[in-house]
Copies of this chain bind each other. A is one copy, B any other.
Amino acid sequence: MIVVMKPDASGTQIETMAQQITSLGLTPQVIRGEHQTVVAALGQERPGLAEALETGEGVEKVLPIMAPYKRASAEVKKDRTVVKALGLEVGGAKVAVIAGPCSVESEEQIVAIARILKGLGATALRGGAFKPRTSPYSFQGHKEKGLQMLAAARAATGLAIVTEVMAPEHVPMVAEYADVLQIGARNMQNYQLLQAVGDSGKPALLKRGMSATIEEFLLAAEYILDRGNPDVILCERGIRTFEDHTRFTLPLATVAYLNEKSHLPVVVDPSHGTGKSSLVASMSKASVAAGADGLIIEVHEDPKRAASDGAQTITPAAFGQLMAQCRRIAEAVDRTM
């Protein structure tokens, strides 16, 4: 931790800061510059330390040095994490493809689309039984019945089930049916939910909050890892910016950056990331080229009749083309798909 003192900080203020650092269990080192003095605080940084120091008198700002996440860090764990669930494997040489409708609508629908998607190369099935909706008047999902429909689709195809859980008290129920528990973007900092998923023993797919920094994203993963659950898949799904031609802005540098900083696998959601079906294939290709370990894509037999998210959903035919195109990109980066 580096404490930058104000240019007019007094000798007493500097000395007091050094004492405060000592009292916090770190070792102070005073560096007197021509214009300003800084006090380094040597030792293990920990959350809250910067906050504690920056209220000192004569302090201009406090600059942290170490990243605040630990278990998610590539420095702490050198080998990359591969998350496995049934036939799904995220983080290995093969690019994972999690596909399916936004909402589970009926057993016939979900079984039929699961069969089609499996035939086209999907490695897991997505589908919402609990739906977080902006308006209380929108369709909220079939809940436990939806989970049973997903289980039927798994029985019919062998595909792993990826589905969202929205509240801590639902975790045991959803974990009974699902192979991977998805935490939605709006819940990325719902800490009770993160802890409950951490305790569930099931792999988690954690979506980035729409205005979360990468540090906050990795600290949210840390909440799950800290409960002893090592199986966290990070998912970039787009952030909120001033752009208005897409539903969100999809920043693919996230993929390469997370690959540098963390050992956790990274998937991209080009459906929510763009909000426009015509852009999904291009962004899927770009994601694979950027080094993503997987894709999560909304597919519906008839997007016009989808219970939710129709505008960003593609047809099975479009999905088949996307798979063929992405496979070529995967090969060009020495992976399979």
Contacts and interface: CB of A to CB of B under 8 A. Distances in A.
A288 B138 CA distance: 36
B242 A256 contact: no
Contacts of A241: 239, 241-242, 249, 251
Nearest to A328: B332
A279 B110 CA distance: 39
Contact of A51 (B55, B210, B308): B308
Contact of A138 (B35, B47, B245, B287): B47
Contacts of A187: 189-190
Copy count, this protein chain: 4
A263 interface: no
A262 B207 CA distance: 32
Interface residues of A, number: 104
Contacts of A36: 65-66
Interface stretch (A111-119, A121-129, A172-180, A211-219): A211-219
B186 A2 contact: no
A239 B7 CA distance: 31
A15 interface: no
A245 B58 CA distance: 18
A38 B46 CA distance: 18
A29, A187, A279, most chain B CB atoms within 10 A: A279
Contacts of A75: 7
A67 to B, nearest CB: 10
Contact of A31 (B4, B40, B211): B40
A216 B210 CA distance: 13
Contacts of A222: 135-136
A44 interface: yes
Contacts of A253: 246, 249-250, 273-274, 279, 282-283
Interface string A240-265: 11111110011111011100100000
Given A75-B7, A191-B166, A243-B239, A260 B278 contact: yes
A310 B52 contact: yes
A335 B29 CA distance: 46
B2 A285 contact: no
A22 to B, nearest CB: 15
A169 B168 contact: yes
B55 A2 contact: no
A144 to B, nearest CB: 15
19 contacts: A31-B42, A35-B66, A47-B133, A47-B137, A54-B310, A55-B311, A63-B63, A136-B219, A136-B226, A187-B190, A213-B245, A240-B240, A244-B244, A246-B257, A253-B279, A256-B279, A283-B290, A289-B329, A325-B332
